[in-house]
A and B are shown apart, each in its own frame.
Chain A
Amino acid sequence: MQDQPHPSEVIGAVAEFLRTIVVPKADPLTAFQTRVAVNALEMMRRQLDLAPAAEAQEEVRLTALLGHDGALADLNAELAAKIGAGDLDLATPGLSEHLWATTLAKLAVDQPSYAAYRGVLAERGGATDTDKHKT
Chain B
Amino acid sequence: MIKTALLGAAASVACVSMAFADGHIGERGRDGNLSLIYWQAPSILSPFLSAGTKDVEAASLMLEPLARYDETGKMVPWLAADIPTVENGGVSEDLMTITWKIKPGLVWSDGTAFTAQDVKFTAAYCMNPDGGCAHGTKFEGVRSVEAPDDLTVVVTFDGPKPFPYGPFVGVESPILQAAQFAECMGAAAATCTEQNFNPIGTGPFTVTEFRTNDVITLAANENYREAGKPAFATVTFKGGGDAAAAGRAVMETGEFDYGWNLQLAPEVIAGMQAGGLGTPVAGFGPLVERLMLNQTDPDPALGDRRSTTDTPHPFLRDPAVYKALSMAIDRPLLVEIGYGQAGRVTCNWIAAPAAVNSTTFSCDTQDLEGAKAMLEAAGYVDTDGDGVRETPAGQPMEILYQTSTNAVRQDFQALIKEWWEDIGLSVELRNISSSVFFGGDAGSPDTLQKFYADVHMYANTFNGTDPQTYLGNGLCDKAPRPETQWQGENMSRFCMAEYDALHAQLQTTAGAEARAAIARALNDMYVGNGGMIPLVHRGRLSAHANTLGGVKLNVWDSEIWNIADWYRIGE
- A and B physically associate: no
